[in-house]
Structure 1
Amino acid sequence: MVAEIHVFLCLSDNIGVLVRDPATGACATIDAPEEGPILAALAEKGWRLTDILVTHKHGDHVAAVPGLKRRFGARVVAPAAEAAAIPDVDETVREGDTVRVGGLEARVIETPGHTAGHIAYWFAGERALFAGDTLFALGCGRLFEGSAAEMWGSLAKLAALPDDTRLYCGHEYTLANARFALAADPGNLPLQRRAEAVERARAEGRLTIPSLIGDEKATNPFLRAGEPALAAAVGLAAGSGPVPVFAALREWKNRF
């Protein structure tokens, strides 16, 4: 791994992430939930912010953009479809575009569902995915603007990345997600073991981010909507197809 990646908490449960290229000193924050913790993380590491990579327009992901831009003059990169709703945007990106942070290179993946213009950043050389609120550890985002079919398509794109990809998501929701996952997929032994590890980590005050895409595919019920066990859990036939199963799982989670 070339990049230096630092994870910390913002607000009550947002995940803050700094990604730095040690060769050039370029440093990006993925989203900008809260200025104070980001400044504290930069000071702790001795890094200087050069870039802000935004995944989507929600306030808990962009609130600190103006202050950070004023302080550092950082470049703000944002999804083209949501740029009008994001402050101080310098550069807009779409599916397949490349974003560079110093010598590091990320490919933009459009992931509509949580919001219509949501994107993720995939640093292939670092095996690091910054998924915002599309895919969570053991969960996925609510469908505020997209359909179940759109969100399933977005999740399928992310699940197609290599199993050793580290997933950095937008929130520390893993404990609650694990409890729902166990309700939906109680016979999943890898999930049972993972849920126990998550319980221990959170009891000790440790973050559960990043996780691995391979582990998500084995234990995250939203990525397993094509499996007969998950269809049965929501009362659908095994051949129903993943989209209806996913939609039913998401509705169940909304009420859980």
Structure 2
Amino acid sequence: MSYTGDVTAGGPPAVRELDRLTVTKLSVGPMDNNAYLLRCKGTGEQVLVDAANEAPRLLDLIGDGGLAAVVTTHRHMDHWVALEEVVAKTGARALVHADDAEGLPIEAERLADGDTVPVGDCAMEVIHVRGHTPGSIALLYRDPAGTPHLFTGDSLFPGGVGNTDQDPERFGRLIDDVEQKLFDRLPDETWFYPGHGKDSTLGAERPSLPQWRARGW
């Protein structure tokens, strides 16, 4: 079956086969968080984006292939409940943006805007997207054989940007960063994978940017 990105908490994962990378999306409860396991086809190295919850399911997904790193997209607890157990049982590096490092339950290596997170022979660019939290990040994989792929955490969803608690300053930072660092840099065919719910493309969401800015959320 072709990949749609539609997953449900407790349900099976969705698997997307790219030329050099396999993307496996799993929804974990109780808040329908998405966790993404990335596997380099050339080396077998694996990286997990958001050890959100249900450590046994995540460890089963990781399997015997080992885990090089866990990248936490931001410091909100629903995105790291399983982090400590997954790291303890796999020996993976924990990675997070420096501005959100204090919010994690374990010590993690600090990331900065423009850093690269390797996944075997592949690489993801760290993009600092402020607003939802001070250290929220998106991760960009530029598929040399296809379209860009973007893991957005809770900064960008189909239908709008992430929650900023009705704070106009935080919303301004978030909508500016999303527009300037994501939409202005990347083409319409860029597929993005959010921290909750369904995927989308930048092209599908681009016409709504003025509406999002005008409504303030």
- Superposed displacement of residue 130, structure 1: 0.7
* Counterpart residue identity of residue 5, structure 1: V
Identical amino acids, percent of aligned pairs: 30
* Counterpart residue identity of residue 201, structure 2: L
Tell me if the contact between 2:161 and 2:174 (Cα under 8 Å) persists in the aligned partners: no
- Superposed displacement of residue 14, structure 1: 0.8
Which of the residues 157, 163, 182 maps onto 1:158? 182
SS across alignment from 2:143? helix
What are the Cα deviations for residues 179-216 of structure 1, in whole angstroms up to 9, with x where unaligned?
A: xxxxxxxxxxxxxxxxxxxxxxxxxxxxx33x221112
Instruction: State the match for 1:202 in structure 2.
Output: none
Question: Which of 107-116 and 86-95 deviates more?
Answer: 86-95
Instruction: State the match for 2:25 in structure 1.
Output: 7
SS across alignment from 1:147? helix
What is the TM-score with the length of structure 2 in the denominator?
0.80
SS across alignment from 1:66? helix
Does the alignment pair 1:213 with 2:202?
yes
- Superposed displacement of residue 246, structure 1: 4.3
CA distance in structure 1 between the aligned counterparts of 2:50 and 2:204, rounded to whole angstroms? 24
* Counterpart residue identity of residue 158, structure 1: L
Instruction: State the match for 2:8 in structure 1.
Output: none
CA distance in structure 1 between the aligned counterparts of 2:37 and 2:25, rounded to whole angstroms? 7
Tell me if the contact between 1:42 and 1:48 (Cα under 8 Å) persists in the aligned partners: yes
RMSD of the alignment, in Å?
1.9
Spell out structure 1 runs of 4+ moving beyond 3 A.
none
Distance change >3 Å, CA 89–CA 125, structure 1 → 2: farther
What are the Cα deviations for residues 143-188 of structure 1, in whole angstroms up to 9, with x where unaligned?
A: 047522101112112212122211010001xxxxxxxxxxxxxxxx
Any unmatched runs of 5+ in structure 2? 1-18
Does the alignment pair 1:130 with 2:166?
no
Tell me if the contact between 2:43 and 2:120 (Cα under 8 Å) persists in the aligned partners: yes
Tell me if the contact between 1:55 and 1:120 (Cα under 8 Å) persists in the aligned partners: yes
The alignment covers a number of residue pairs equal to 190
What is the TM-score with the length of structure 1 in the denominator?
0.69
Any unmatched runs of 5+ in structure 1? 173-207, 231-241, 251-256
Does the alignment pair 1:30 with 2:49?
yes
Distance change >3 Å, CA 57–CA 139, structure 1 → 2: same
Which of the residues 97, 102, 118 maps onto 1:79? 97
Instruction: State the match for 2:35 in structure 1.
Output: 16
Tell me if the contact between 2:101 and 2:108 (Cα under 8 Å) persists in the aligned partners: no
What are the Cα deviations for residues 13-58 of structure 1, in whole angstroms up to 9, with x where unaligned?
A: 1112111112111111111111133123224xx6432210111001
Does the alignment pair 1:118 with 2:136?
yes
Q: Highest Rg: 1 or 2?
A: 1
Alignment of 1:1-256 (within 5 A): 1-12=19-30, 13-34=32-53, 35-43=55-63, 47-125=65-143, 127-144=148-165, 147-156=170-179, 157-160=181-184, 161-172=186-197, 208-209=198-199, 211-218=200-207, 221=208, 224-225=209-210, 230=211, 243=213, 245-247=214-216, 250=217
* Counterpart residue identity of residue 68, structure 1: V
More strand as a share of residues = 2
More helix as a share of residues = 1
